[in-house]
Amino acid sequence: MNRNAFGLPDTSSEEKNVTATLPIIELDPLKGRPTVEVIFGQAHLGTYRVFLWDAQGKNPEPIGHGNNIDDVLDDFSAPRDPGALDKTILSYEAIVQAAEPREGQLYSLTITVRQQGKVCTGGVIQETGTFNDVKSIIGFRRFES
């Protein structure tokens, strides 16, 4: 076993498969492309980006972005059919900002993945809590079909 400069086992070259432990969103291969909806709650300002990564957690592809300030619906379709999404990774990044900074304010972010209008198993992602001014939210899910 190789050791690093501190005498500890060197694991820098080992392939790590953290994607195997991600929460799963189940897709039905017969129901068509999934849609993703993003909703910010508690009357705060929010912006987001959603990416699709390959099964190895590489090659991110932006598939959605937006905010809750404009009049554009925050609902979009995945770029591929369910069979081609199997084992791929969905990631989301969001920033929530309070209209006025103040301690203990509530925030919420809900991301819902649907197929043909029905929520997929594991397809509701909810992030809630308290914050004072700005909150950053990042998460990952794995598709299985």
Domain boundaries, the chain: 28-144
Using CA atoms, how far apart are residues 139 and 1, in angstroms rounded to an integer?
34
Mean pLDDT of 107-129: 97
Give the model's pLDDT for residue 42. 84
Predicted confidence band at 95 (pLDDT cuts at 50, 70, 90)? very high
Topology of domain 28-144, CATH: Lipoxygenase-1 (2.60.60)
Q: What is the pLDDT of residue 18?
A: 65
Where would I find the H helices in the chain? 82-85
Compute the CA torsion angle 81, 83, 84, 86 (nearest 10 deg). 120
The pLDDT tens digits of the residues spanning 15-72 come to 456 667 899 999 999 999 999 999 998 878 999 999 999 999 999 999 999 999 999 9
Per-residue model confidence (pLDDT) at position 115: 98
Reply yes or no on whether the pLDDT at 13 is more than 60. no
| Confidence bin at 99 (pLDDT 50/70/90) | confident
Show the tokens assigned to 145.
Answer: 């079909």
What does the block give as tokens for 110?
A: 């809900």
Residue 4, pLDDT above cutoff 70? no
How high is the pLDDT of residue 103? 94
Average pLDDT, the chain: 90
